[in-house]
Amino acid sequence: MALETIVAEMVANVLKVVAVEGELLAVGDTVVILESMKMEIPVLVETTGTLRELRVREGDVVQEGDIIAVLG
């Protein structure tokens, strides 16, 4: 199975980490919730897979294009 990266689409704070490494995620599941300009933005999985690596923690700041997680 190919690895898929989940990237940040904007500059934001990581408000909440929802998924855990090793968890099987389905299309539409939330990995993390970002906060930008007082709005909460869920980051959703676009393909089914196991969360291999989570690269952020609550309180982190991500930049556009930063890798949030890796599915495989």
Measured between alpha carbons, how far is 57 from 19 in angstroms, rounded to an integer? 11
Measured between alpha carbons, how far is 32 from 20 in angstroms, rounded to an integer? 10
Summarised one tens digit per residue, pLDDT across range 21-62 is: 999 999 999 999 999 999 999 999 999 999 999 999 999 999
- Residue 2: predicted pLDDT: 81
Ordered strands of the 24-25 beta sheet: 4-7, 67-71, 49-54, 24-25
- The structural architecture, per CATH, of the domain 4-71 is Beta Barrel (2.40)
45 in Cβ contact with 28 (< 8 Å):
yes
Measured between alpha carbons, how far is 50 from 21 in angstroms, rounded to an integer? 8
Closest by CA to 43, choosing from 22, 21, 13, 23, is 13
Domain ranges of the chain: 4-71
